[in-house]
Amino acid sequence: MKELHIISFNYPYPPSYGGIIDVYYKIKALSDLGIKIHLHCFVDKIPVKIDPEVEESTENVFFYEKKKNPLLYFSKIPFAAVIRDSDLLLKNLEKINAPILFEGLQTTHIIRFLKESRHKLYLRYHNNETEYYKGLSLSEKNIFKKMVYGIEALKYKGYQKTLLKEFETIFCLSEKEYNEVDTYSGNARLIHIFHGNQSVKQLDKKGNYFLFHGDLTTADNKKALIEALDLFKTLPQYKLIVASDRASEDIKRRISVIENITLAPIGTTENLHHLLENAHANILISYQNSGTKVKLFNTLYNSRFVIINGNITDDPALTGLCLYGTDRTEIRQQIISSAEKDYDDTEKRKQILEKKHSDHAKAEEIIKIIFKN
């Protein structure tokens, strides 16, 4: 039996936002192929129980509370990494001799104790964290948060360079990050996002509304949402649903005063799929150039039209499945034109998505690399 430690930056259920989607469906795909997963999760608060969906894909699940000391902001180590440190984690890793897959650079602070260990070390490179925090800093309106993100970007610049050569292989999400890592350390492999979708849904030609969904605690998503709200204020004839479980009171107030826009909870994966299946078109905007966004796959597999700007994906094949706008004027025009169109792209999407982006194929490739099949 092949065994693998996976250290996650958060508990990967429900898989409703960002990199957690990649973590959860990677675990599921690896488990389905017979890998025994020992999952280690850093969390704000240890859950009362483990969800059955996680339990059935893992051999063990361990939890570690993130440190809450605000003085750690003054550490030379990036804050997101220094708060994810645990002596208990080290003890649990040493009990089971298996390779370790770190989910994101923020889980790697303990690597200083593992350099001489028997474990082989692998990294899932979710972001170029320096560029990610630079982007957050640029998008953030709050001056204090803007400074914090800017400092975090600087810390990660040195942190990444120190660590990237320590891994057997770094699994990158996008062409851009693959090229950056491989040029620097020569140990990169391109493994696209795990997304949990198996087949493209066959849908009617028309949906009922436009949809914007995402984690509204991130500066990039908040900025994108405000752009979408401003667009739909000028298009009162079209209904927009904003789907999120993480909307601030400010966001709720902004939405409540616009008649053609409503806020809806996501709650479960099933509910998200229901929202996607009934949408006529999806609005996906980002101000961070960090490869293909996870939510793009959910929309392409489960919904109709997808309207994007240039930062949603760097994959030309995926861009070709979307309606593209370089700026607000072009995105507005795509909203208007898509409303009049019938959706009929199912076969085209099947040819590209089911051949190139299946989770099963990506899991097989990871297994071959880690276990040298």
Q: Judge whether 357 and 192 are in contact, CB under 8 Å.
A: yes
In a shared domain, residues 29 and 83:
yes
Mark whether 170 and 134 lie in a shared domain: yes
Q: Number of structural domains, the chain?
A: 2
Residue 254 forms part of a structural domain:
yes
Shared domain check, 240 and 179: no
Closest CA to 9 of 64, 58, 48, 50: 64
Q: Residue 214: what pLDDT?
A: 86
Q: Same structural domain for residues 340 and 285?
A: yes
Kindly state whether residues 154 and 124 are assigned to the same domain. Answer: yes
**CA 304 – CA 302 distance, rounded (Å):** 7
Give the residue among 80, 50, 52, 54 at the shortest CA–CA distance from 67: 80
- In a shared domain, residues 157 and 242: no
Indicate whether 19 belongs to any domain.
yes
Task: Write down the pLDDT at residue 159.
Answer: 93
Q: Domain of residue 122: give its range.
A: 3-196+358-371
Instruction: Tell whether 135 is covered by a domain.
Output: yes
**Element of type H or E holding 340:** helix 328-340
Query: How far is Cα 145 from Cα 248, in angstroms, rounded to an integer?
Result: 16
Contact assessment for residue 43 and residue 7, using Cβ atoms and an 8 Å cutoff: no
148 and 250 share a domain? no
The span from the CA of 183 to the CA of 186, in Å, is: 6
What span, in angstroms and rounded, lies between the C-alpha atoms of 10 and 23? 9
Same domain, 33 and 178: yes
Q: How many CB atoms lie within 10 A of CB 142?
A: 10
In a domain, 201, yes or no: no
Q: Is 336 exposed, middle or buried (0-12, 13-18, 19+ CB in 10 A)?
A: exposed
Terminal-to-terminal C-alpha distance of the chain: 13
Domain co-membership, 298 together with 254: yes
**Residue 114 CB coordination number (10 Å):** 18
Q: CB of 203 within 8 A of CB of 340?
A: no
Q: Report pLDDT for 57.
A: 98
CATH number at residue 159: 3.40.50.2000
Verify that 230 and 311 share a domain, yes or no.
Answer: yes
Give this prediction's pTM: 0.82
Q: What is the predicted pLDDT for the residue at 175?
A: 84
Judge if 183 and 251 occupy the same domain.
no
Whether residue 178 sits in one domain with residue 102 = yes
Per-residue pLDDT 10s for the chain (373 aa) are: 899 999 999 999 988 777 899 999 999 999 999 999 999 999 999 999 999 999 999 999 999 999 999 899 899 999 999 999 999 999 999 999 999 999 999 999 999 898 777 899 999 999 888 888 888 888 888 999 999 999 999 999 999 888 999 999 999 988 888 998 999 899 999 998 899 998 999 999 999 999 999 888 888 899 999 999 999 999 999 999 999 988 889 999 999 999 999 999 988 878 999 999 999 999 999 988 767 888 899 899 999 999 999 999 988 889 999 999 999 999 999 999 999 999 999 999 999 998 888 899 899 999 999 998 5
How far CA 87 is from CA of 90, 109, 125, 187, 199, in Å, comes to 5, 11, 24, 28, 42
Look at residue 203 and tell me if it is in a domain. Answer: no
User: Within a domain: residue 153?
Assistant: yes
pLDDT of the residue at 373: 55
